[in-house]
A and B are shown apart, each in its own frame.
Chain A
Amino acid sequence: MAPPAADFPPPQFFARPPLSNPPLDPTPPPPPPQQLYSRPPSSMLSTPPPPIPSKAPPFASPPPFAAPHQFQGLQGPPPSHPPPPPPQAPYFGGSPAYQQQQQQPLPPPSQGYFAGIAPPLPGVAAPPGHDIADEFESLSISSAPGTAADVKVEALPRPPPDSCDTFAQPAWSNCHPRYFELTTNAIPASHSLAARWHLPLGAVIHPLAEAPPEEQVPVVDFGTSGIVRCRRCRTYINPYDKFTDGGKYFRCAICNLLNDVPMDYVCALDEQGKRRDAMDRPELSQGSVDFVAPMEYMVRPPMPPVYFFLIDVSVAAVRSGILQIAADTIKSCLDKLPGYPRTQIGFLTFDSTLHFYSLKSSLTQPQMVVLAQVDDPFLPMPDDLLVNLSESRLVVEALLDSLPSIFANNENVESALGPALEATTSIMSEIGGKLLIFQSTLPSLGVGRLKLRGQEAHVYQTDREPALRVAEDSFYKQMAAKCSKLQIGVNVYAFSEKYTDVASLGTLAKYTGGQVCYYPGFHAAVDGEKLTYDLSRDLTRETAWEAVMRIRCGKGIKYSVFHGHFMLRSSDLLALPAVDCDKAFSVQFALEDTLLTSQLAYFQVALLYTSSSGERRIRVHTAAVPIVQELSVMYKEANIGAVVGVLSRLAVEKSLNDKLENARQYVHVKMVNALREYKNMYAVKHSLIGRIIFPESLKLLPLYVLALSKSLPLRGGFMDATPDERSAAGYQMMTMSRPSLLKLLYPALIRLDEYLLQGSRGGGVDSPPQLPLTAEVLDPRGAFVTSDGQRFVLWLGNVLQPEFVAAILGPQVAHSSDLRKVPVVEQDNDLSKRFHALLAKLRKQNRWCHQQCVVVRQGESGRELQLVHSNMVEDRGAGFPSYMEWMVQIHRQVQQKI
Chain B
Amino acid sequence: MAWDLALWILSFLAVAAALGIIVYQLLCLSDLEFDFINPFDSSSRINRFVLPEFAIQGVLSAIYLIFGYWLMFLLNAPLLYYNIRLYMSKRHLVDVTEIFNQLEPEKKIRFYKLGFYLSLLCIVIYR
Contacts and interface: CB of A to CB of B under 8 A. Distances in A.
B39 A568 contact: yes
Contact of B35 (A480, A485, A570): A570
A570 B38 contact: yes
A569 B35 CA distance: 9
B14 interface: no
Contacts of B100: 568, 571
A571 B96 CA distance: 13
A474 B90 contact: yes
A307 to B, nearest CB: 24
A571 B33 contact: yes
Nearest to B40: A485
Interface in B9-48: 32-33, 35, 38-40
A511 B97 contact: yes
B39 A478 contact: no
A5 interface: no
A43 to B, nearest CB: 44
A481 B38 contact: no
* Residues of B in contact with A, size category: 10 to 19
Interface string A543-572: 000000000000000000100000111110
A635 to B, nearest CB: 30
Nearest to B38: A569
A477 interface: yes
A477 B96 contact: yes
A196 B32 CA distance: 33
Contacts of B106: none
Nearest to A484: B97
Interface string B56-71: 0000000000000000
B97 A567 contact: yes
Contacts of B32: 570
Contacts of A478: 96
Nearest to A568: B100
Nearest to A571: B100
Interface string B77-98: 0000000000000100101110
Interface string A502-516: 000001000100000
A11 B115 CA distance: 61
Nearest to B36: A570
A485 B35 CA distance: 16
Interface residues of A, number: 15
B89 to A, nearest CB: 10
A511 B100 CA distance: 13
A478 B33 CA distance: 21
Interface in A567-590: 567-571
Nearest to A511: B97
Nearest to B93: A474
Given A511-B97, A571-B33, A571-B35, A481 B40 contact: yes
Contacts of A477: 95-97
Contacts of A568: 39, 99-100
A570 B38 CA distance: 7
Contacts of A511: 97
A477 B94 CA distance: 11
A569 B39 contact: yes
Which of A474, A478, A511, A570 lies at the interface centre, i.e. has the most chain B CB atoms within 10 A of its CB?
A570
Nearest to A562: B100
Contacts of A480: 97
Contacts of A570: 32, 35, 38-39
Nearest to B41: A485
Contacts of B90: 474
Nearest to A481: B96
Contacts of B93: 474
Contact of A481 (B33, B35, B97, B101): B97
Contacts of A569: 38-39
Interface in A856-883: none
B85 to A, nearest CB: 14
Nearest to B95: A477
A292 B40 CA distance: 29
Nearest to A570: B35
A558 B97 CA distance: 22
Nearest to A478: B96
A570 B99 CA distance: 10
Nearest to B96: A481
Interface string A467-489: 00000001001101100110000
A570 B40 CA distance: 10
A569 B43 CA distance: 12
Contacts of A484: 97
A447 B70 CA distance: 43
A478 B100 CA distance: 15
A416 to B, nearest CB: 23
Contacts of B39: 481, 567-570
Contacts of A481: 39-40, 96-97
A484 B32 CA distance: 17
A824 B87 CA distance: 54
A416 B39 CA distance: 29
A505 to B, nearest CB: 15
Nearest to B37: A570
Contacts of B101: 561
Interface in A766-788: none
A477 B96 CA distance: 8
A586 to B, nearest CB: 15
A561 B102 CA distance: 12
A888 B19 CA distance: 59
A474 B100 CA distance: 17
Contacts of A571: 33, 35, 100
A485 B42 CA distance: 13
A323 B97 CA distance: 32
B43 to A, nearest CB: 8
A234 to B, nearest CB: 13
Nearest to A561: B101
Contacts of B99: 568
Contacts of B35: 570-571
A235 B33 CA distance: 21
A481 B100 CA distance: 13
B96 to A, nearest CB: 4
A484 to B, nearest CB: 8
A510 to B, nearest CB: 8
A763 to B, nearest CB: 57
Nearest to B100: A568
A171 B32 CA distance: 38
A873 B93 CA distance: 42
A571 B36 CA distance: 11
B29 to A, nearest CB: 12
Nearest to B99: A568
A477 B95 CA distance: 8
A477 B90 CA distance: 13
Nearest to A482: B40
Interface string A70-84: 000000000000000
Contacts of B97: 477, 480-481, 484, 507, 511, 567
A570 B37 CA distance: 8
Nearest to A512: B97
Contacts of A507: 97
A869 to B, nearest CB: 37
Contacts of A485: 40
A474 B47 CA distance: 14
10 contacts: A474-B93, A481-B39, A484-B97, A507-B97, A511-B97, A567-B39, A569-B38, A569-B39, A570-B32, A570-B35
Given A481-B96, A568-B100, 6 more contacts: A477-B95, A477-B96, A481-B40, A568-B39, A570-B39, A571-B35
For the complex of A and B, the 8 pairs showing the least CB-CB separation, nearest first, are A481-B96, A570-B35, A568-B100, A511-B97, A477-B97, A481-B97, A485-B40, A571-B100
